Chain A
Amino acid sequence: MLETAERGASSSTKAPPHERYLEAFRWMLTARVLEEKLASLYRGGMIVGGVYLGRGQEAISAACGMFLDKSKGDLFAPLIRDQAGRSAFGEPLLDVVRTYLGSAKGPMRGRDGNIHRGRPREGQLAMISHLGAMISVLVGRLMAKRMRGEKGFVGLTTIGEGGMQTGATHEGMNIAAVEQVPLVVVATNNHYAYSTPNDREFACAALVDRAKAYGYEGATVDGTDLAACLDVIGGAVKRARAGRPPQLVVAEILRLAGHGEHDDASYVAPEIKKESFAQDALQRAEKLILDEGLLGREGLQQMRAQIAAEVDAAVATAQQEDAPHASEEDWSALSTRELADQFA
């Protein structure tokens, strides 16, 4: 009721489709600009290892990060196409470029790279490559918070339609429901697991049907529609925080990049690119912003230029930093140094 009243009150300029629409758009654009820079650095041979982009997934991802609040003890376990969400959750640009460029000052100090970065103590988990493995880890953190008497926190993790088929995902989703932790699982069906299309990934009618099977509350969303993503994912976070069962949101998009920058994605069928879910969420949001007059062309250009400057500054900083040196590495996988095995 209140929302309706507010909309009615602002009659001169059109109300945005979601109160945080422009904020969300900025995170989407941040991710896009940053990732374009990363791709360019990769092609210039400045990045060792892989570069994985979230192009096409920015609306979903931004929504994942935006409704989490570190001050409430919220936790985020992102995967490989979550730059927008990571940034929205509070990940500094420097963390990203330092990790990609192998700076010794990055959160992983050269010991791990690219999208495996995280700051577990600050609520952002560091994913491993084995899909589904982070779900139960997040469940454990949420359980521990509850055991310690914390309240009002929520955890959100992301998965793709590919990762949904692992045993770990099944075990993790099930145990979350058994433990009734405040969890949101946002699954993005981008139609390809690397190069494998949906028909060789799963055979159920709709992935969201699994919500019922696991005892979750389920919802679907058009991943190219930023306002819908904000509504649905924001709603799921709110419900989980309010003590509802775990939430499963299944979003649909087309991956608008290769699996990684090494992949030209030539296997993507031409017909699928004409589907409505194949739209670019960023362009769609940009168009809406212009059409609805939320921001002018100049404003958008200014925003883009501002983000580009921030990204360039971060890259320039990271590029001047030392790479890790093997001679300074202490080569201990244990924090308890005296228990590290000694090899002659």
Chain B
Amino acid sequence: MPQVPITMPQLGESMAEATIVSIKVKPGEKVSADQEIIEVETDKAVMGVTTPCAGEVAKIDAEVKGTYAVGAVLGYIEASEADAARFQKRAPQPPKGDVAKEIPGRETESDKAVKTQNGSGSHFQVDEADVMSMSAGSGRADQGAGLPVPASAKGAGYLSPRVRARMAELQLTQADLASIAGTGSAGRVTVKDLESFLSGIEGQPAEKPSAIRTGVADAMRRSWTRPLATVGLSVCLDPVLDDRKKRDPKPGPALYALRALALAIAEQPNAAARLIGGKAIRSESIDIGVAVEAGEGIMVPVIRNADKTSLADLTSRYTELVELARRRRISAEMTTGGIASVSNFGTFGLDWGTPIPLPDQTLLLGLGAGKKAPTWSEEKQQFIPATQAELTLSFDHRSLDGGGAGRLLKRVVELLASPAQL
């Protein structure tokens, strides 16, 4: 009886391969058409592979936990002549996941073997020996092809040498070109697009930004090359405000937050790691910056070893730094080396924001304005007035996921509930 192959289906548009979770049949078992016989897992979901037709399982080549490209032969079903004939007419497409075949020079040895032995490229009529070479070779994604090679390097983000040179001359960055809809191929910005954009802004009121503004702009542009995300959580500030009254000097709420963040990071140091190349790089000390508005821009002086410094010491150090910042006496060394920062955007009366972490930092804790709001008290079983503020944590999504960021933020909120211990 003829054999019909069971192939790894295309279970999603972007799916290239899948891993076998379980195999529900054994050779010799009778199967009906469309029966789920193999469970596979992609990066998105677990799904079932069904039989192409009724018959008897002739053999299963796939192994549990093995990863196979779309189109790979997982096994064979002995089918009726009629079913087999039907499948021969609609022979399986050349495996889509097997990109190698579409790229000259990317053919694997096993691909060549298949072509030689089975001129049609169909996996249908292969004999026993071929089946072995198939399942052992080209079917396994981990031994399979590389990525597709783009036909050209052009695209919307492509900058020609001319455009690059002109931008360098005018000290433009790619961010400055964001508003230009390119007319070139694939929407690239041509030198003509750039020139007409430049002539368009000519004559508009313009002034030279301050050095600090330029510096911030550069830092933000560089930082924005990363996938940044923000999570938020409400915090009750009353314990902090009560604690503050007892202290001298009196720390601001942002300093409580900074101290809490330092302690939380000390417990979860990976959360502040920077991802560079294949390495997650952690700092030796927990140094945290605090954003201070100074003139036209923002300066972020860094408080060293914030996890090992008492809130009282933090406060006096902070006061010193703020004074230096306002007098523009902050040295470069005082603003570098931080692993996270705190931004008290609440001082601008804002509730919420998605501030951007500095380019060399993974985390930024934002503190919104405190507001009296009715808050449900479980203890009293009634709404009571409480000072609520929104706490946000912006992070580099490459280093940290929403869950990890959430856990860190929750820990900060917990620590702020017992401010006396900070």
Chain A in direct contact with chain B (Cβ < 8 angstroms): no
